Amino acid sequence: MTLSELSLQDLHNQFKSKQLSVTELMEHYFGAIAKYDDRVGAYLTLNEEGAKAQAAKLDAKLASGADQGLLFGLPVGIKDNMVTEGLRTTCASQFLSNYDPIYDATVVSKLKQADTVTLGKLNMDEFAMGGSNENSSFHPVRNPWDLTRVPGGSSGGSAAAVAAGEAYFTLGSDTGGSIRQPASYCGVVGLKPTYGLVSRYGLVAFASSLDQIGPITRNVEDAAYVLQAIAGYDEKDSTSAKVDIPDYRSALTGDIKGLKIAVPKEYLDGVDPTVKQAVLDALSVLEGLGAVWEEVSLPHTEYAVAAYYLLASSEASSNLSRFDGVRYGVRVDNNGSLLDLYHDSRSKGFGPEVKRRIMLGTYALSSGYYDAYYLKAQKVRTLIKRDFDQTFEKYDVIIGPTAPTTAFALGSQVDDPLTMYLNDILTIPVSLAGVPALSIPCGLAEGLPIGLQIIGKSFDESTVLKVAHAFEVHTDHHKHRPSL
């Protein structure tokens, strides 16, 4: 068994018995990055000097006999839209290709307090806009299961790094499915927490009412440990929720007898037959553990994609207006007016997908179209949330596929944005409702992973984790690894 296959508890035991040092574990992961990442492309910036210094500090802490926290010594990769003090943060955009932050995002600070080791910053779709990780302005990420296929997006680098053994766990961000869909495509566990549970302070904003940070891990237990470390109220984030944080680990009992599961018929219509069968098989496993499931309807699901892209693009138009070439980022020198400076800097700095969404959002917010588009989309969002609220009055969780297909081929949809957008049709409604959801591997189709999506009530991550863990304990889908 290699170091990357050891459980968190096994690593803790080896640290305590001095069979393993944090430096050795860190070097193992940098070795994997050196071996695989020229093909996978998961990383944009490596933190070798900083990681080496942090590992030495933690080894000294071990030698002193100090207590180990839950995540002590674990090597982590951070999606490149979370600011890291002194470590370049680009959002995979040419606009921020020279940006070195002077502070840490709250989640990064919390991981440092938990004694993790930051390996580097992970590739993504530019400003988190995309579903395939082909929109990075530096280079695409490839799926470790099949290097001719996409890893999903926008957190494709975060999911691919875990799948390829290039990080013990990673952080991603999810706006319309950008943690869950890559987790599904790459055969790992991805958790989008309830909106407001994890601080967004230091996350470069795409759509502020939707963005949420969450973990991508190899198994459910690790996801619970990471969530325990990063969840909680943050006064620096005006959308942070003041809620009690339970012990998520205590939910991993494996007991789901009597649990009521809703399966939306809309989530099974039109999906690949192999994906549908894998979900039905997973429901049979849960049924065998004492849960019961029924088919339900979430009638406004069909409007989710249209509403999401109007709302997310409108918020992007507003959020990205700060990138003007004056305060930070790319600045194109010219002898023209201030407007020429804005135009030239933004034209050079932003890629085509970002420009597309800025234009769509600006149009939806413009005079004469606000009521017809943006306001109507907000009303539809309320109806979608109401669908979830009504379903959760009777059921404990909602379950369906994470994505309608397995990972598609690189380049096959890059010139067809509407088809690309539809890949998030099963994850977007969850984001609009602001509820938590987790993707867990539930099978393979022609050698490619299939993801099962488990959706819970607001701030009830414990139940989501309990169901996922029970399924994981009684299956071996999470043990499958790609062969690089």
Before 412, cis peptide (omega within 30)? no
Contacts of 451 (CB under 8 A, 6+ apart): 180, 181, 183, 184, 185, 401, 402, 403, 439, 440, 441, 442
CA gap 277, 188 in Å, rounded: 19
Catalytic residue among 4, 21, 93, 154: 154
What DSSP element (H or E) covers 230? helix 220-230
CA gap 256, 251 in Å, rounded: 10
121 as an active site residue: the answer is: no
Catalytic residue among 178, 184, 314, 345: 178
137 as an active site residue: the answer is: no
> Is the C-alpha dihedral spanning 330, 336, 339, 343 positive or negative?
negative
Can you read off the two tokens belonging to residue 2? 């290699």
CA gap 47, 86 in Å, rounded: 10
Nearest to 297 by CA among 429, 468, 461: 429
CA gap 312, 124 in Å, rounded: 17
User: Do residues 465 and 224 lie in contact, with contact meaning Cβ atoms separated by under 8 Å?
Assistant: yes
CA gap 3, 6 in Å, rounded: 5
The DSSP string of 322-373 is: G-SSSSSS-----SS-HHHHHHHHHHHHS-HHHHHHHHHHHHHHSTTTIIII
User: Do residues 142 and 149 lie in contact, with contact meaning Cβ atoms separated by under 8 Å?
Assistant: yes
318 as an active site residue: the answer is: no
Catalytic residue among 79, 110, 457, 466: 79
- Helix 8-16 / helix 220-230 crossing angle, nearest 10 deg: 70
Q: What is the CA radius of gyration of the chain?
A: 21
**Helix and strand numbers, DSSP H then E, in the chain:** 15, 11
CA dist 301 → 66, 164, 281, 298, 306 (Å): 51, 34, 24, 6, 10
Q: Which residues participate in catalysis according to the annotation?
A: 79, 154, 178
